[in-house]
Structure 1
Amino acid sequence: MIAYLKGLIAEKNPTRTVLDVSGVGYEVLIPVSSYEKLAAIGEPARLLTYLHVREDIMQLYGFSTQEEREVFLLLISVSGIGPKSALGILSSVALPDFKKAIAQEDYNLLTAVPGIGKKTAQRLVVELKEKVAKISSADDIARTKVVQGISEVADEAMMALMSLGYAKALAEKSITRALRENPGKEFSLQELIKTALRFATAG
Structure 2
Amino acid sequence: MIRYITGELITVSKDRIIIEQGGIGYELMIPSSAINNLPSPGYQVKVYTYLHVREDILALYAFLTQDDLEVFKLLITVSGIGPKVALGVLSAHTPDDLRFAILSEDVKTITTAPGIGPKTAKKLILELKDKFKLDESFESRFSNSENETSLNITRVREETLEALLVLGYSRTDASNAIRSIEINDETTAEDALRQSLRNII
TM-score (norm 2): 0.67
Partner amino acid, structure 2, of 1:79: S
Give runs of aligned pairs for residues 145-184 of structure 1, distance below 5 A: none
What corresponds to 1:106 in structure 2? Answer: 106
The 1:142–1:15 alpha-carbon spacing in structure 2 relative to 1, beyond 3 Å, is farther
How far the C-alpha of 1:95 sits from its partner, in A, is 2.3
What corresponds to 2:39 in structure 1? Answer: 39
Partner amino acid, structure 2, of 1:2: I
How far the C-alpha of 1:111 sits from its partner, in A, is 1.6
What does the per-residue CA deviation read over 1:113-159, in whole Å, with 9 as the maximum and x for residues that have no partner?
A: 2211111111100100021227958x6455428x6xxxxxxxxxxxx
Indicate the SS of the match to 2:120: helix
Rounded to whole Å, the distance in 1 between the matches of 2:114 and 2:65 is 23
Rounded to whole Å, the distance in 2 between the matches of 1:142 and 1:135 is 10
Percent pairwise identity: 45
Q: How many residues align?
A: 148
On the 8 A contact 2:10/2:17 being kept in 1, the answer is yes
The 1:112–1:140 alpha-carbon spacing in structure 2 relative to 1, beyond 3 Å, is closer
What corresponds to 2:23 in structure 1? Answer: 23
Rounded to whole Å, the distance in 2 between the matches of 1:3 and 1:94 is 21
How far the C-alpha of 1:33 sits from its partner, in A, is 2.9
On the 8 A contact 1:72/1:87 being kept in 2, the answer is yes
How far the C-alpha of 1:82 sits from its partner, in A, is 0.3
The 1:134–1:104 alpha-carbon spacing in structure 2 relative to 1, beyond 3 Å, is closer
Rounded to whole Å, the distance in 1 between the matches of 2:36 and 2:135 is 22
Rounded to whole Å, the distance in 2 between the matches of 1:140 and 1:109 is 20
What corresponds to 2:164 in structure 1? Answer: none
On the 8 A contact 1:10/1:20 being kept in 2, the answer is yes
Rounded to whole Å, the distance in 1 between the matches of 2:32 and 2:11 is 15
Which structure 1 segments of 5+ residues have no match?
148-203
Rounded to whole Å, the distance in 1 between the matches of 2:97 and 2:25 is 34
Rg larger in 1 or in 2? Answer: 1
Rounded to whole Å, the distance in 2 between the matches of 1:136 and 1:46 is 24
Which structure 2 segments of 5+ residues have no match?
148-201
Partner amino acid, structure 2, of 1:55: E
Indicate the SS of the match to 1:61: strand
The alignment's C-alpha RMSD in Å is 2.4
Give runs of aligned pairs for residues 30-109 of structure 1, distance below 5 A: 30-109=30-109
